[in-house]
Amino acid sequence: MEPTYKRLVQLYDEVTQSTLSKQVKDASSKYAGGIMDASGIPRPNHGGTPSFMACWACALVNSDSRYYHDPELLAAFELAADFMLNRQHADGTVSLGSTNFNSPPDTGFVVGGVTQMYRLLLGHGWADSEPAAGKLRLFLERTIPAMLTGGCHTPNHRWVLTAALSLLYEIFKLPELAARAEEWLAEGLDITEDGEWTERSNGIYNAVSDIALYHTGRVLNRPELLEAVRRNLRMMVYLVHPSGEIVTDYSGRQDFGHSYDLATYFLSYRFMAAHDRDPLFAAMADSAGSRIRGPEGVNNNALLQLLLYPEETNIDGLERAPLPDRYVQVINGSHPVREHLEAAHSVGHHMQIRHSSMHPAFGAPLVRIRDRETSATVMARTPSFFSLRHGGVRLLGVKLSTSFSPGVVKFEELEAREHGYTLSVTMEKGYTGPIPRSLLPEGRERMSPWYLLPHQHRPSTHVQTHRLTAELTPGASEWTLRVVSDEREDVLTQLTFILGPEGELAGEGLEPVGEGRYMLKHGTARYASGGHALELAPGCCEHFVTEVREDSHPAGCRYVHMNWVTPFDKTVTIRLL
C-alpha cells in the first residue's frame, strides 16, 4: 500500500471520528446536520461542513477505511446533505460566513468538491447511498443558475468558477455551462512566463488556481491550460525553505508573512506528475503529501480525488528526481512590470476596481537563494525587500521606512549583479495647484465639498524626488547590506529587521522602544534559535523617532531598528553563526 495513501486513510478516519461528534443533531436547529468548525457555527462553505463531508464520503466507499459502509456514518452524511440544502440560498448560492454573502465564487469552491463527492458515491454503486447522492445532485442542480450568471471578486475566483462550471458540465451536460466557462477563459490567464499568478500567493491561491485549471483543462479538453499549472509548479520548487515552509514574504493576499507548507499543492503535483511522467513533480508530490495534516478545502481534498481519479493520479513506478537544495533562481527577471503599469493608465479604470484589488506588484522580480540549510529571498515592490532562514533562525523580513513619502519603501527595480543584487527606487512627492475655473463644477460659490472637486485637473507644483538604493552581497557566512540615499537632507529613515518570536535576542546596544521592539543604538545584536544564530551590526541611532509615520509593527514578532538621517551611505552586516 502506497505510504501517502495509507497515511491519508488513517488521517481521514481520525477526522471522521472527531467530526461525527460535532454534528448538530437537534432537529429543531436551523443548523441541523451541520458540523461545527472553529467558528462555533456550522457553515456550508468550502472549509466547513462540506470539507468534513468529503472525508466521510471517502470513508464510506473505501474498503481500507474502518468506516466502510458504516450505517451510522451514512445516516450522518445524509443529515449533512440536508444541512447543505437548508443553508443554500434561494438563488442557489451559499455564503462564506465570515464575509462574502450569497457568494457565487464561494459556491464555486463548494461545487468543486460536491461534484466529486457525488461522482464518488454514484460510481461506487452502493444502493444504500443513493438517497444521499440524490441530495448532493439536487444541491448541485440548484447552483447552476448562480454559476451561469455569478461574478467574482479576485483573479483566482475566475478559475474557481470556471472549474465549477466545467465539473457541473461533466455531470449535467448542459452546453451553457461550458459556454460560460469559456467566457471566463476568454480573459486570458494571469500568469507570468516564470509561473507567478497575479496574487503572488504561494501559501493559498496559487494552489487554488492550479487545481481549478487542471480540472477545467481535463473536462473541456483544453490541454493548453495545463501549461500554466506546470509553470507555477516548476516555480514553487524554488520557493520552499529547508524546513518545508513556503516563501510568503511578498504575497498580495492574506498568507503574507504567515507560515504555510506544500500540502495544498499535493493534488496538482500528483496529477501533473502522472500526466507528464515528471520525476521532479513526483518528488514534490511526495513532499507535499507528507505535509498533509487534515482535510483541505473541499475542492482540494486529497483522498477524495485519489479515490475518484485513480488512473490520473497513478505515479507507481515513476522515478523521483532529487529536490534541489543549492541554487540561485531569478523569477520574473524579464517580466515587463513597468510597461504593464504604464499601459494600465490607458485602460480607463484609473487603477480602481470594485470589491477587489489591482495587484500592481504582479510580475515583480525576485531572487531565491538556497544553500542547504540557508535560504534567502530578495524582493522588489513589496514592503520587505529581504528575508532569510538559517537553520532555526528566521529573519522574516528587512524593510526601510522614510519620512519622505512617508512610510515603507517599496523598491521598484531589482538588478542581479556579478556579486550580488541592487534594489532601487526614486520616490516622488509634490503639491497641487488650483483647478482651472473652466473645469470647476457649478454651484461651488455656495458650498464646495472637497470630494466633489475634479482633483485630476489640478496642476502639479514643487515636485520633489528622493532616490534610495540597497545593495545585498552574499558572502561565505554573511550578507552585507549597503543602503545609500541621494543628497537630500534631513529625511528621517528607519531600517527594520523583523525576527521570529521564538528566538533569543541580546546585545548591549539594544534599547526597548515598544512591545517586542528594540533600537540597536550601537554595537551588535545577536539573535539565536534552534542551535543557529545571526548577528546584526553596527547599530545606529541618528534620530529619536521610534516609529515612522505610515509604518506599523504588528505584535507577534521581534523588531530591531536602526535610525539614519539623509544623506547617508550605510553598511550593515548580517553574520550567520
Residue 50 sits in a domain whose CATH number is 1.50.10.20
Let me know: does 235 contact 194? Beta carbons within 8 Å.
yes
For the record, the C-alpha cell of 568 comes out as 547617508
Please report whether residue 406 resides in a domain.
yes
Q: Which long-range contacts (CB under 8 A, 24 or more apart) does 442-446 make?
A: none
| Distance separating alpha carbons of residues 473 and 86, to the nearest angstrom | 60
Q: Do 21 and 136 share a structural domain?
A: yes
Please report whether residue 336 resides in a domain.
no
Give the pLDDT of residue 153: 81
- Interaxial angle between packed helices 205-220 and 225-236, expressed in degrees from 0 to 180 and rounded to the nearest 10: 150
Q: Do 323 and 424 share a structural domain?
A: no
Please report whether residue 1 resides in a domain.
yes
Q: Do 266 and 128 share a structural domain?
A: no
Give the pLDDT of residue 249: 87
Please report whether residue 501 resides in a domain.
yes
| Distance separating alpha carbons of residues 16 and 23, to the nearest angstrom | 11
Let me know: does 266 contact 292? Beta carbons within 8 Å.
yes
Q: Which of 292, 327, 362 is the last residue before a domain boundary?
A: 327
Q: Do 416 and 291 share a structural domain?
A: no
SS3 31: coil
Q: Do 549 and 413 share a structural domain?
A: yes
Give the pLDDT of residue 448: 77
For the record, the C-alpha cell of 381 comes out as 515592490
- The whole-angstrom distance between residue 263's C-alpha and the CA centroid of its chain comes to 13
Please report whether residue 20 resides in a domain.
yes
Give the pLDDT of residue 451: 86
Let me know: does 142 contact 88? Beta carbons within 8 Å.
yes
Give the pLDDT of residue 487: 97
Give the pLDDT of residue 253: 75
- Interaxial angle between packed helices 175-185 and 205-220, expressed in degrees from 0 to 180 and rounded to the nearest 10: 130
Q: Which of 327, 362, 381 is the last residue before a domain boundary?
A: 327
CA angle, residues 349, 352, 354, in degrees to nearest 5: 110
CB burial of 316-328 (b: ≥16 within 10 Å; e: otherwise) equals eebebeeeeeeee
Q: Which of 150, 184, 207 is the last residue before a domain boundary?
A: 150
pTM of the model: 0.92
Q: Do 222 and 118 share a structural domain?
A: no
Give the pLDDT of residue 358: 59
Q: Do 179 and 94 share a structural domain?
A: no
Tell me if the bond preceding 501 is cis, omega within 30° of 0. no
Helix ranges (DSSP H) in 239-315 = 266-276, 279-289, 302-308
Q: Do 404 and 495 share a structural domain?
A: yes
Residue type for 137, please? R
Closest C-alpha to 160, from 97, 90, 96: 96
558-565 vs 517-520, strand pairing mode:
parallel
Domain that holds residue 188: 171-327
Instruction: Report the chain's terminal Cα–Cα distance, integer Å.
Output: 43
Give the pLDDT of residue 256: 74
Give the pLDDT of residue 444: 60
Residues 524, 529, 533, 538, Cα dihedral to 10°: -20
Count of domains forming the chain: 3
Each residue's pLDDT expressed in tens, for the chain with a length of 577 residues:
688 999 999 999 999 999 999 999 999 999 999 999 888 889 999 999 999 999 999 999 999 999 999 999 999 999 999 999 999 999 999 998 878 888 989 999 999 999 999 999 999 999 999 999 999 999 999 999 999 999 888 888 899 999 999 999 999 999 999 999 999 999 999 999 999 998 889 999 999 999 999 999 999 999 999 999 999 999 999 999 999 999 998 887 767 778 889 999 999 999 999 999 999 999 999 999 999 998 889 999 999 999 999 999 999 999 999 999 999 999 987 776 677 766 666 666 666 676 667 566 777 889 999 999 999 999 999 999 999 999 999 999 999 999 998 999 999 999 999 899 999 999 999 999 999 989 988 766 667 788 888 999 999 999 999 999 999 999 989 999 999 999 999 999 999 999 999 999 999 999 999 999 999 999 999 999 999 999 999 999 999 999 999 898 888 899 999 999 999 999 999 999 9
SS3 content of the chain, % helix, strand, coil (to 5): 35, 25, 45
Q: Do 217 and 306 share a structural domain?
A: yes
Q: Do 52 and 199 share a structural domain?
A: no
Q: Do 401 and 301 share a structural domain?
A: no
Q: Do 423 and 531 share a structural domain?
A: yes
Please report whether residue 227 resides in a domain.
yes
492-499 vs 558-565, strand pairing mode:
antiparallel
